[in-house]
Amino acid sequence: MLKGNRFLSSTFSRADCFAAFGMNKDRLYMALYIRNAREGDVRYHTALLRIPKGTGLGDISPSAYCYHAVNDIVDGKEVWVYKALPTRPLSVKLRALLFLGKMEISASDLEQTLKQVPVVQDNPNWRCHDWIWAAMKLLAEKGIIDPLPRQPQDLWHAAITFADENSIVDGLVPTCATDGERIKSAFEGL
């Protein structure tokens, strides 16, 4: 039991304290990855990246999860597919993160929820960021992340501007909040 930020019982562990205050929750980010863009294309591939709390710069195991829509060749035809893959939190192509919130649900529940986001075919203008916009909207509607302060596409544009204006320093990926303000890198903790 809590009273005035002090525990009334000495039987609570440090983990209990973290859980009580939401300190051990995984974090969800919009991640921008540099890519070899064709003329007129956006410079960044966009994905959602779930990073466990406490992930360090030196972590090389696939402790994070990447959720995104990608082009694949299926039966000789280019199609968009949703993928949820374990990944290393850091990648040489990762350029910036936009913090979306702390996760209350499991990785598998998040994956199942994101399967509901439509993956559009046969539209030459549809891209991975269109999927991200729909995913962010769905996550906010379901209360998985806090309500978005702006439209998903506006947040995406702000993240691109942030990525273009900030560099990786000492291995720390530039990270911003939904208001565009720089915050601690995911690898420094929040």
pLDDT (tens, 9 = 90+) of the chain, 190 residues, equals 333 433 333 443 333 333 444 457 889 999 999 987 665 668 899 999 998 877 765 665 667 889 999 988 888 888 999 999 988 767 788 899 999 999 889 888 999 999 999 999 999 899 999 999 999 999 999 999 999 999 999 999 999 999 999 988 777 889 999 998 999 876 654 4
**Angstrom distance (rounded) from CA 163 to CA 32:** 8
Query: Which residues contact residue 67 at a Cβ distance below 8 angstroms, ignoring those fewer than 6 apart?
Result: 47, 48, 49, 50, 82, 83, 84, 110, 111, 114, 135
State residue 49's pLDDT score: 94
**Angstrom distance (rounded) from CA 132 to CA 173:** 20
Return the sign of the alpha-carbon dihedral for residues 101, 107, 112, 114: positive
State residue 169's pLDDT score: 79
Residue 58: strand, helix, or coil: coil
Burial class (CB in 10 A: 0-12, 13-18, 19+), 124: exposed
Residue 71: count other Cβ atoms within 10 Å of its Cβ: 11
State residue 46's pLDDT score: 96
Residue 44: strand, helix, or coil: strand
Per-residue tokens: 7 = 């525990």
**Angstrom distance (rounded) from CA 144 to CA 148:** 11
**Angstrom distance (rounded) from CA 188 to CA 42:** 29
Residue 190: count other Cβ atoms within 10 Å of its Cβ: 15
